[in-house]
Structures are given as structure tokens and as C-alpha cells.
Amino acid sequence: MKDIKYRWNTLCLYDYRGVEKHLSAMAARGWRLEKAGNTLWRYRRADPAQVRYAVTYSAGASQFNPCPTEGQESLAELCAAAGWEKVCDWFQMQIFSTEDPDAVPLETDEALRLQNIHRSLGKHFLLTNLILLLLGLVMSFAFLGTLFVKPLRVLESSASLCFGPLFVLVTLLEIYTLCHYYGWRRRSRRSIEEGGPCAPINTRAYQRLNRAGLVLVGLFVAVWLLTELINGGERHAVFLAAYLALFSVVVALIRGTTAFLRTRKVSKGWNIAGTLAADVVLVFAMIGGLVWAGIRFDWFTGGSGETYAYQHIKFDVHPREDLPLTLTDLTGETYRHDSREKRTEGSFFLPERSYREYALQNTEDESENAWPGSLRLSYTIYEPRTQWLYDALTKDLLADDDDPDIPEFSKSYRQEDPSPWDAEAVYRQYYRLDGDATDSWLLFWPGRVVGLSLDWSPTEAQKTLIAARLGPET
């Protein structure tokens, strides 16, 4: 039978009554609080007993202090004289216990208690939640602004669809948290003015809200991972999983750094500096490691993995075979130097698959100074789930590509005969200034749109092959 139990804490930092009742109930079931961490509380098995707990607050308490402050030591001595034993700290909250049913309460002046709570929470709880609220507001406004102005930008990205609402949720939770505290403080002041104690808090309701918030955050992340896997974005899912795992390790190491420096009796200022230094180093190491892994295993480019350099350009040792259309299909040639990429993007509502290929034309001269010429092929396949998305995507893709700084680069689309492509509609891109055609097309079929770019104008036979490979399956 295990003698240690960990519990995910969802209690409210200023709900001293809720904490006292919870710990007394745990002691009655045979579990005594041993350590109150930031999120996890550790309990040790003991004989069931009727234990009273009392909570008070110390504004000078800090996780960076090498030892209890003078105020904390004085408080502990006074409490010990009154029959109360120090259990542990939870941020600025000081937790004491006693099995003496006649031990005098630690706090009797409710006005002083309320003042002490507000002074203590201002240095950690309120400041942290205010920062999170400001961050959430910035991200939420950015998401909502994009949603109302350019909804297609949101619907074409699984990350935007999942994490945009997540920022809104975090913002709402932070607003609730701050309103809950100041509402409780206002009610408590009114109660004290009328001769009563601090206002009670609905502990269960607060805990249910906290748990619901955690569950929703987990659901948003799980939905994003699931949609990426369904849409073929395994690389994105692997990247996020690696990021979350490394982030957890970094948080544990940073907290371990703080605890280690504290055990070494390092001063508060140097502890903060050391923790910040460890934070910066570990975060840069995490980001650098993820970027290296992304490049090494092609999480970002969608390449085949193993590459070599020729003419200072990277090519695939084994070009991937899962492209629906390749340069070899169009030209009938197999290229000695070839690079292919595949990226799955978009969202469940607007799946998007992008393919890129770059190859050097075959030549007998393989010397370093020889340049045989190159061929490029790129195309993106969109499959909107609804007619509204299809129409919105069509409008967005056909919008003029204006460049006010370089007018000669401004482009627009002109419709051309779709029959060689066996499509409903086809548009070719032109430079607006001189009217010259580019080698980029938009191909429209029922339920599918393809953006195609080549280095040449395809023949009739090539157009037929493109339609057969990139058009909707019959």
C-alpha cells in the first residue's frame, strides 16, 4: 500500500476556510499534508485523526527565500506557543495544524485578516493573473479580429481553430478569477463592517470551474492533435508532442533550480537571478533543440529526410514517392538530382495539401561549374467542406495580387478555356503592368480547387495528365 499520495490542487489561494476543511477531511481519512507545491500537493499516510488546520498569510514569504523570513519565524514561534505546528507554505499561505481541540484560533481580527490577505496576494496571485489576462486579451483580440474580418484565415488552419478559442477561454477564466477575488473582497469588507467574518466562498463551485478549465484546455490540445492526424499532419502532431514534453521538463528543471539554490542558502536576489538564467538557457536550448530536430527530421519542410548537396543545393537521396504528380510524370524523365516536399496544412473544414518539387535537368557535364538548368513544380490542393467555404476560397484566391512598392510585380487572374483541363473553370495569372502571362493557374472542380505553378506552359497532353492526377477522384 502506498504511503504517499499526490493530488492536483484546484483550491482557491484566498479560500482559507476551504483549505482548512479540506485538510481536516484528508486527515480524518488518514492523509496528512506534507508539501504544497504549485499545482501538486503531497500527502503522507497516517492514522486517521481529528486534526484542526489553520491558515494565515505572510506577505514576505517567497519560494526564493533561503530560509523563513524573520516574520515567518516569529509567526511560527507564536503559533507553536499557542499549540499550532507549522505544516508547510503554499505561496504566501502559511498552513498550521493541531490535534488540540482547545487551541486558540490564530486569527481573530477579521479586518486585519482581510488586509493581510490582500497585501500577500498582490505580490504573486494578482500580478500573475493580471499578466495572463493582458496576454490573453492581446491574443484573443487578434483571433477574433481575424475571425470577423477574414474568417477564411481561421478556418484554413487547425492551429487557429483550436488555439484561438483556447486564448479566449483563458481570457474568460482570468476575468472570472479577478472578478471572483475582488467580488469576494468587497463582500468581505461589507460583512466585516457589519460585525461579521470574511465572506464565505463556494469551494466546490470554484474547484469545478478550475477542473472544467483544465479539461477544456486538454480537449483543445487533443482535438488539434486528432485533426492533424486525421488530415495527415503527423509531423505537426509530433512537433507539438515534443514541445509539450520538453516544456514540462524545462518547468521541472527551473523549479528544481530554485529549490536547489534555496537548499544551498543562496540569497533571494541571487536565487531569482540564477532561476532566470536557468530559464533563459533552458528555453533557448529547448527552442534550439526543436528547430534542430525539425530540420533534421523534416518536420517543417516535409522533405524525405536524407539529403546531399550538389551545386550548393540540397537534394533528396531518395525522393519521396507519395506525390500525386511529379516532374517525371509530366516529362517522362528521371532526374539524377531531385528534391520533393509534401506538407499537410489547413483544417478539418478546409483541408490543404501542398507539394513542391525541384530538379536539375539531366546533363553529361557533372562538373562543379556546370549549370544544367532547373525545373520546378508546385501545387496546392484545397478541398472545402461546404459551398460557402468553396466560394470564399475562390474569392480569396482570385483577388488581385498587388504590390504597391513594386508595381511590375502586381498580378491578376484571367479566365481561360477549361476544357483541356477537364475542369469547371481555369484562371491563369498575368502581370498587370505589361500583361505577360506567368506559369501559374487556378483549377476549379466540384469540391476541389488546385493552385498550380510550373516553369513552362504545359502541352495539351500534360494538361490532361494534370487533370487526371490532381482533379477530384471519380
| Mean of the per-residue pLDDT values of the chain | 86
Average of per-residue pLDDT across 252-265? 79
pLDDT at 233: 63
CA distance 54 to 16: 8
Give the pLDDT band (50/70/90) at residue 389.
very high
Percent of the chain with pLDDT over 90: 42
- Coil vs helix vs strand at 172: helix
Query: 355 pairs with which residues across the strands?
Result: 342, 379
pLDDT tens digits for 403-434? Answer: 666 766 788 899 999 999 999 999 999 988 77
pLDDT at 59: 78
11 neighbors 23 (Cβ within 8 angstroms): no
Least confident of 136-145, 283-292, 387-396: 283-292
pLDDT tens digits for 32-87? Answer: 999 988 788 999 999 999 999 999 988 776 676 666 666 677 778 888 888 899 99
pLDDT at 348: 82
CA distance 470 to 324: 7
Taking alpha carbons only, the member of 169, 198, 202 closest to residue 186 is: 198
What is the amino acid identity at position 31? W
More confident residue, 2 or 117: 117
Percent of the chain with pLDDT over 70: 89
pLDDT at 178: 93
- Coil vs helix vs strand at 104: coil
pLDDT at 159: 76
pLDDT at 416: 94
CA distance 59 to 70: 12
- Domain boundaries of the chain, sorted by first residue: 4-106, 124-230, 233-293, 307-470
Average of per-residue pLDDT across 17-45? 92
State which of 134-143, 204-213, 265-274 shows the largest mean pLDDT.
Answer: 134-143
Taking alpha carbons only, the member of 16, 202, 194 closest to residue 111 is: 194
0.85 exceeded by pTM: no
Q: Say yes or no to pLDDT of 132 above 90.
A: no
Q: Say yes or no to pLDDT of 115 above 90.
A: yes
What are the grid coordinates assigned to 106, written together? Answer: 490564530
Average of per-residue pLDDT across 137-160? 86
94 neighbors 56 (Cβ within 8 angstroms): yes
| Helix (H) or strand (E) segment spanning residue 214 | helix 203-230
pLDDT at 376: 95
pLDDT tens digits for 171-216? Answer: 998 999 999 999 999 999 999 999 999 999 998 888 888 888 888 8
Q: Say yes or no to pLDDT of 352 above 60.
A: yes
Q: Say yes or no to pLDDT of 394 above 70.
A: yes
What are the grid coordinates assigned to 4, written together? Answer: 504517499
CA distance 424 to 405: 35
Q: Say yes or no to pLDDT of 369 above 70.
A: no
pLDDT at 395: 92
CA distance 341 to 307: 12
pLDDT tens digits for 307-347? Answer: 888 888 889 998 988 899 999 999 999 999 999 998 888 88
Alpha helices (H) along 47-157: 70-81, 110-121, 125-149, 151-155
* Cα–Cα distances in angstroms (integers) from residue 300 to residues 83, 303, 342, 391, in the given order: 62, 8, 10, 29
pLDDT at 134: 92
* Cα–Cα distances in angstroms (integers) from residue 144 to residues 133, 149, 172, 446, in the given order: 16, 8, 14, 31
Average of per-residue pLDDT across 16-45? 92
Count each helix (H run) and each strand (E run) in the chain, helices first.
12, 15
Q: Say yes or no to pLDDT of 1 above 70.
A: no
Q: Say yes or no to pLDDT of 355 above 60.
A: yes
pLDDT at 164: 86
